[in-house]
């Protein structure tokens, strides 16, 4: 670092920062030098190969991964450095990088609870979103990554449970998809909408069924989620659960009156896809619930045909026990 020449190599990417003693010395150095503190506020351009920063005017610069000192420290959870940058240097807690990610977003993404709390105490924006193709936001990424204490902090600071990303996916939707049961429960306690679908008309219940998250399915059903709500292409929660072979999820859906013969826009039923994938236990459940073995003969062949095609011997044996017509 050469303060007189206004040149700095990214200290905040130094691997020694994992050590408390190194961070203490770094903070002590910055604290003694007004030039150093000013430099932290005036980074401008970066040589992306050598991570050299030149300071000519008051602005932020991007280090190795297009970041700022506060962004880097928040991302890595260096509470003491974040505290110094925010409270002593007076760095802007809402300064965003070239991807429009804020320090709060990065701290939420990494699960850095103490840093999140500090940033919120210093008026970090909970609604700040990305303007890129994903348009995510702090609550969304915390729900996605499963950081429940951070989710709780954000909700206590008026984060919007209805805000969605570019695909119209809500925090509840992504928590259901990722299987974070405790976060789903917390969001529902904060009046998250169980019927809020994404831009493909996929509901949170659909997302849970597709991944086989039965405990989450139970929670959603207890909160009056629609059991047979289909996506834009007619895929029902039961269909995607059958496709994945999630037997316990299928069982719970059937117990809650899911439509067993509901075909998608391509004419395929839940029983058809279960046979095609060789999920014999799922096939048995559907047959026990009077699923029609005669559906979908004109799509890719009969149930028996697709089971044979896939080499699913146990599924074939089961279908023959139910007197499936072998002539199709």
**Cα 249 from Cα 262, distance rounded (Å):** 17
Question: What is the structure's pLDDT at 34?
Answer: 63
On the question of a common fold for 67-160 and 165-226, the answer reads yes
Which H or E element spans position 121? helix 113-121
Q: Which residues contact 35 (CB under 8 A, 6 or more apart)?
A: 3, 4
One DSSP character per residue, 235-304 reads --HHHHHHHHT-HHHHHHHHHTT--TT---TTS--HHHHHHHHT-HHHHHHHHHTT--TTTTTTTSS-HH
Average confidence score pLDDT of the chain = 84
Confidence of residue 327 (pLDDT cuts 50, 70, 90): low
- Cα angle vertex 144, ends 140, 145, to 5°? 120
**Cα 286 from Cα 251, distance rounded (Å):** 9
Confidence of residue 170 (pLDDT cuts 50, 70, 90): very high
One DSSP character per residue, 307-320 reads HHHTT-HHHHHHHH
| Phi, psi (degrees; rounded to nearest 5) at 98 | -70, -15
Confidence of residue 162 (pLDDT cuts 50, 70, 90): very high
Question: What is the structure's pLDDT at 324?
Answer: 73
**pLDDT above 60 (res 316):** yes
CATH assignment of 235-327, given 3.40.50.11750, 3.40.190.10, 1.25.40.20, 1.10.3720.10?
1.25.40.20
Q: Residue 250: name the closest of 223, 287, 296, 225 by CA.
A: 287
Residue 301 vs residue 296, higher pLDDT: 301
Question: What is the structure's pLDDT at 177?
Answer: 98
Confidence of residue 64 (pLDDT cuts 50, 70, 90): very low
**pLDDT above 50 (res 322):** yes
Question: What is the structure's pLDDT at 93?
Answer: 93
Long-range contacts of the stretch 163-168 (C-beta < 8 A, 24+):
163/127, 163/129, 163/137, 163/139, 164/196, 164/198, 165/134, 165/135, 165/136, 165/137, 165/140, 166/133, 166/134, 166/135, 167/198, 167/199, 167/200, 168/197, 168/198, 168/199
CA distances to 9, 56, 67, 200, 214 from 220, rounded to whole Å, are 51, 55, 39, 19, 10
CA distances to 11, 273, 293, 300 from 305, rounded to whole Å, are 64, 12, 12, 8
Which H or E element spans position 156? helix 148-156
Arithmetic mean of pLDDT, 186-211: 98
| Cβ-contact 81, 17 below 8 angstroms | yes
Instruction: Give CATH superfamily name and number for 67-160.
Output: Ankyrin repeat-containing domain (1.25.40.20)
**Cα 144 from Cα 155, distance rounded (Å):** 15
Residue 117 vs residue 37, higher pLDDT: 117
- CB-side exposure of 168: number of CA atoms within 13 Å? 10
Which H or E element spans position 204? helix 204-211
Arithmetic mean of pLDDT, 289-304: 70
Question: What is the structure's pLDDT at 98?
Answer: 76
CATH assignment of 165-226, given 1.10.10.10, 1.10.3470.10, 1.10.579.10, 1.25.40.20?
1.25.40.20
Q: What three-state secondary structure class fits 7?
A: strand
Report pLDDT digits (tens) over 77-117: 999 989 988 998 888 999 888 778 899 999 999 999 999 99
Question: What is the structure's pLDDT at 89?
Answer: 83
Domain boundaries, the chain: 67-160, 165-226, 235-327
- CB-side exposure of 238: number of CA atoms within 13 Å? 29
């Amino acid at each position: 670092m050469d303060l007189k020449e206004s040149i700095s190599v990214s200290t905040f990417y130094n691997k020694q920062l994992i050590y408390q003693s190194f961070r203490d010395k770094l903070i002590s150095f910055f604290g003694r030098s007004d030039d150093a503190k000013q430099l932290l506020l005036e980074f401008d351009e970066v040589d992306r190969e050598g991570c050299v920063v030149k300071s000519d005017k008051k602005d932020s610069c991007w280090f190795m991964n297009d970041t700022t000192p506060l962004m880097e420290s928040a991302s890595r959870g260096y509470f003491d450095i974040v505290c110094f940058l925010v409270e002593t240097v007076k760095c802007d807690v809402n300064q965003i990088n070239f991807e429009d990610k804020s320090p709060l977003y990065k701290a939420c993404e990494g699960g850095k609870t103490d840093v999140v709390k500090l940033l919120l105490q210093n008026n970090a924006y909970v609604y700040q979103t990305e303007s890129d193709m994903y348009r995510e936001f702090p609550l969304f990424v915390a729900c996605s990554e499963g950081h429940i204490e951070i989710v709780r902090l954000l909700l206590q600071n008026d984060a919007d449970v209805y805000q969605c990303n570019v695909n119209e996916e809500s925090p509840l939707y992504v928590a259901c998809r990722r299987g974070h049961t405790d976060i789903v429960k917390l969001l529902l306690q904060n009046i998250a909408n169980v019927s809020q679908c994404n831009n493909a008309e996929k509901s949170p219940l659909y997302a849970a069924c597709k991944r086989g998250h039965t405990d989450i399915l139970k929670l959603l059903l207890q909160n009056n989620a629609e059991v047979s709500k289909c996506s834009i292409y007619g895929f029902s929660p039961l269909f995607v659960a059958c496709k994945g072979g999630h037997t316990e999820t299928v069982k719970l859906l059937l117990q809650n009156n899911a439509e067993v013969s509901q075909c998608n826009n391509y004419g395929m039923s839940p029983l058809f896809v279960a046979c095609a994938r060789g999920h014999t236990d799922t096939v048995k459940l559907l047959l026990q619930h009077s699923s029609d073995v005669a559906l979908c003969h004109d799509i890719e062949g009969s149930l028996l045909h697709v089971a044979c095609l896939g080499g699913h011997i146990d599924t074939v044996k089961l279908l023959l026990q139910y007197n499936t017509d072998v002539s199709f």
